[in-house]
Amino acid sequence: MDIPAQLLPGASHLEIVGNRQAVIEGVKSVLAYESTGIKLHLGSLALSFEGSDLLIRSYQQQQVILSGVIAALHFTSAP
């Protein structure tokens, strides 16, 4: 049976608009926040954004909207 991944409990959802904006749902916490890098805790994974002028536009109800110039993103296992 094919169940859409976004329906699975605890699944995070990532949406990137170009390299200027990203919307991440299912964020448990912010692990690191600098203008050159942001690291988010997504449960079993940690997602790191690297770039410049990074800014958290909004952080509410496990949803983070960040903007800036995104140069790279990395998934690592959660600490």
Q: CB of residue 19 vs other proteins: minimum separation in angstroms? A: 19
Cβ proximity to other proteins: between 14 and 30 the closer is 30
Cβ proximity to other proteins: between 4 and 10 the closer is 10
The 10 Å CB-count burial string (b at 16+, else e) for 21-42 is ebbbbbbeeeeeeeeebbbbbb
Cβ proximity to other proteins: between 19 and 29 the closer is 29
The torsion angles phi and psi of 43, rounded to 5 degrees, stand at 100, -105
Q: CB of residue 3 vs other proteins: minimum separation in angstroms? A: 28
Q: CB of residue 30 vs other proteins: minimum separation in angstroms? A: 5
Residue closest to 69 by CA, chosen among 22, 30, 23: 22
Summarize as ranges the residues that interact with other proteins (CB under 8 A). Answer: 27, 29-35, 55-62
